[in-house]
Amino acid sequence: MSGYLRSRIPDQCGESAAERVAAAGADLIDLNMGCPVPKVCKTGAGAALLADPDKAVAIARAAGRGSGLPVTVKLRSGARPGDLSGVDTARRLAEAGVVAGICIHPRHASQRHSGKPDYELARELADELPVPVIISGGLRSAESAREAFERSGAAAVALARGSLGNPWLFSQLLGERAEPPGHDEILAELDWVMDRAAEHLGAERAARYLRKFYPWYLERLGGDKALQDGLQRAATLAEARQLLGLAS
């Protein structure tokens, strides 16, 4: 089991949250200091922490102290073009000895998920830091993940948005399968996701929550605009299944 903790303030609160994560059976705590979403950054969390390396170090230290677990941190290269505050923060975290690894998404936060990641910058960081560096960003296929791994010199890759609606990416990257998933396999996976969402959230809430999932799968199913629109309007899981041809 992996544990993920997003802590907004250090010291006692950070330790308390970390203790709860450890008690739940997590193997590590990964702090996301790279999220570019405005509603996250305006609270001082996510990529906003790149402007306050002292606070970033304090949070990582508190998480490790409170949990007794290894702590890793994910960051962006900076907040905007030309800004390397994320690289500087990565150095500070490593020098302070409060992280077991750094995950770098080498695009600035204002790029969000567009533009080409700077894998050469990631390589400089991987060569310099005394802790393992993990590469993330722009990994939408096994080929792009392998390219990023080689060009960055990272110790590992972290698949994030590229795996949304595409869990087969992991086995493709590991060489366990070469062919893309077929139509029936994609539908079966989506059907499983719908069942799990209903178990976790309840059928009514899951019907709304899954609307952001459908485009990931329809991209691979080749669904048309009418189907996409219908799924976004579906009031129940039964209605969504009917549209997808999953109704029994």
Domain ranges for the chain, please list them: 3-173, 183-244
Q: Which numeric CATH code is attached to 3-173? A: 3.20.20.70
pLDDT value of residue 8: 42
Q: Which two tokens stand for residue 81?
A: 């073009």
Distance of CA 161 to the CA centre of its chain: 6
Which sign, positive or negative, has the C-alpha torsion 119, 123, 125, 126?
positive
Question: Smallest Cα–Cα separation from 223: which of 248, 186, 191, 196?
Answer: 186
pLDDT value of residue 10: 45
Q: Are 138 and 105 in contact (CB under 8 A)?
A: no
pLDDT value of residue 14: 53
pLDDT value of residue 3: 41
pTM: 0.83
Residues of the chain with pLDDT under 70: 1-15, 248
Residue in 13, 35, 41, 103 annotated catalytic = 35
Is 35 a catalytic site residue? Answer: yes
pLDDT value of residue 223: 81
C-alpha separations of 7 from 12, 35, 93 in Å: 11, 13, 15
